[in-house]
Amino acid sequence: MLSPEQSALSVRRASDNDIPLIRSLADEAFRDTYREILSPDQLEYMMDWMYSEQSLRRQMGQDGHVYFIAEFFEKPCGYVSVQPLGLQEDGAFLFELQKIYLLPAFQGMGIGRKLYAHVASFVRRAANGWPCRIELHVNRNNKAVDFYKHLGMEILRTGDFPIGHGYYMNDYIMGVSL
């Protein structure tokens, strides 16, 4: 849980000016998350694929990803991104939680729950009273699966998704209706 200094935690919307910061946070947080799960070559491929400056600019621009930065005592400690995918056949607005990562030193403090709550609030506002749903892809071997279950998400399906260069993301697709 968060320390008594909960007010020391803030979440702000990221801009293009934060791309170097996101890249720096990912360099530690994403690598730490996947170093035991992915091969070093796949890890490097995915870092470039998802976190190059060009990729982040595309995500924040044409792909519509909205990034938020978490800061604890004004020190950046993590990030999250969500992408609106639009109205689905079932009448709900679908949002994909694309990324949520914390630096290792800040894990276990409740910051991940705060980031998720921030995204859920953002999604509800964006849906403007319409039914909405958040889905995400998480590696089946990632300990974060339990974190998402604790937040009320359920495993909806599994998939092996080709990402290029012969690599796959072996994921659960989890979701929750808000």
List phi, psi (to 5°) of 98: -80, -40
Between 19-34 and 53-60, two packed helices, what is the crossing angle to 10 degrees? 110
Give the pLDDT confidence of 18-27 residue by residue, as tens digits.
999 999 999 9
Give the pLDDT confidence of 74-103 residue by residue, as tens digits.
999 999 999 999 999 999 999 999 999 999
Q: What is the pTM of this model?
A: 0.92
The reported pLDDT for the residue numbered 112 is 94
pLDDT band for position 60 (cuts 50, 70, 90): very high
Helix ranges, the chain (H): 19-34, 40-51, 53-60, 111-127, 144-150
Length of the chain: 178
Identity of residue 149: K
Instruction: Domain 6-130: give its CATH code.
Output: 3.40.630.30
pLDDT band for position 1 (cuts 50, 70, 90): low
Res 71 pLDDT > 50:
yes
pLDDT band for position 166 (cuts 50, 70, 90): very high
Are the C-beta atoms of residues 68 and 15 closer than 8 Å to each other?
no
* Percentage of the chain lying above the pLDDT 90 cut: 96
pLDDT band for position 4 (cuts 50, 70, 90): very low
The reported pLDDT for the residue numbered 5 is 52
Q: What is the DSSP letter of 161?
A: E
Give the pLDDT confidence of 121-158 residue by residue, as tens digits.
999 999 999 999 999 999 999 999 999 999 999 999 99
List phi, psi (to 5°) of 165: 55, 25
Q: Which helix (H) or strand (E) holds 10?
A: strand 9-13
Res 109 pLDDT > 50:
yes
Give the domain ranges of the chain: 6-130
The reported pLDDT for the residue numbered 138 is 97
